[in-house]
Amino acid sequence: MNIMELINNNLSYIILCLIPFSIILFILIIILIVKQSNLKRKYKKFMTGSDGGSLENQILLRFEEIDQLIQGEKRLNGEINAIRENLMITYQKIGIVKYDAFKEMGGKLSFVLALLNKENNGIILNSVHSSREGCYIYLKEIINGESFLELSEDEKNALNQAINSNKY
């Protein structure tokens, strides 16, 4: 039995199998035609009022704007980082105490000023005023909230005010 005889004997079975397959293909073609027409309609609506060149120009313009935004963001991030670095070393905490150095009648003209950064490093300025002798200013260095020199009671108070001030 050769192939031709086999096909002739089973021709009806082959036709019966091809009919459902053809119907499925026909349905798929109809679905594709409907989808293609919907896509074509959306494309025409999208392109209404614009030709391809102007649409391309709009897209290129948006890409340029995005590039400018990215460059601007990088520049601003650099500036913000520089500001943060500066804030770490600037004086952010202040404490001040006025006092009468020599218990004179002149009033509280002497003062202690404590200036600290975020890590409590900075200085204490002590301005001692005397109506007879004039004014003297002393400076003491503060490292991690402490001084290597002995502090007066007023200097300690100003230092504690500065350490505990979080307003700045």
In a domain, 12, yes or no: no
142 and 100 part of one domain: yes
71 and 121 part of one domain: no
d(CA 40, CA 21): 28
Structural domain total, the chain: 2
Give the pLDDT score at 11: 80
In a domain, 18, yes or no: no
57 and 70 part of one domain: yes
Pull the structure tokens for residue 128. 């001692």
d(CA 162, CA 116): 7
- Full pLDDT tens readout for the chain, 168 residues: 677 777 777 888 888 888 999 999 999 999 999 999 999 998 887 777 666 567 778 888 999 999 999 999 999 999 999 998 888 788 889 999 998 877 766 678 899 999 998 888 999 999 988 777 788 999 999 999 899 999 999 999 999 999 998 765
How many other CB atoms sit within 10 Å of the CB of residue 125?
A: 17
123 and 83 part of one domain: no
Q: Is 120 helix (H, G, I), strand (E, B) or coil?
A: coil
Q: Which among 129, 147, 128, 146 is positioned nearest to 138, based on CA atoms?
A: 128
Q: Domain of 63?
A: 51-89
User: Could you tell me the CA-to-CA distances from 160 to 37, 112, 115, 124, 127 in Å, in that order?
Assistant: 79, 12, 11, 11, 18
The residue to which tokens 């400018």 are assigned: 68
Boundary-marking domain end, from 89, 111, 146: 89
97 and 129 part of one domain: yes
Q: Is 140 helix (H, G, I), strand (E, B) or coil?
A: strand
pTM for the full predicted model: 0.54
111 and 127 part of one domain: yes
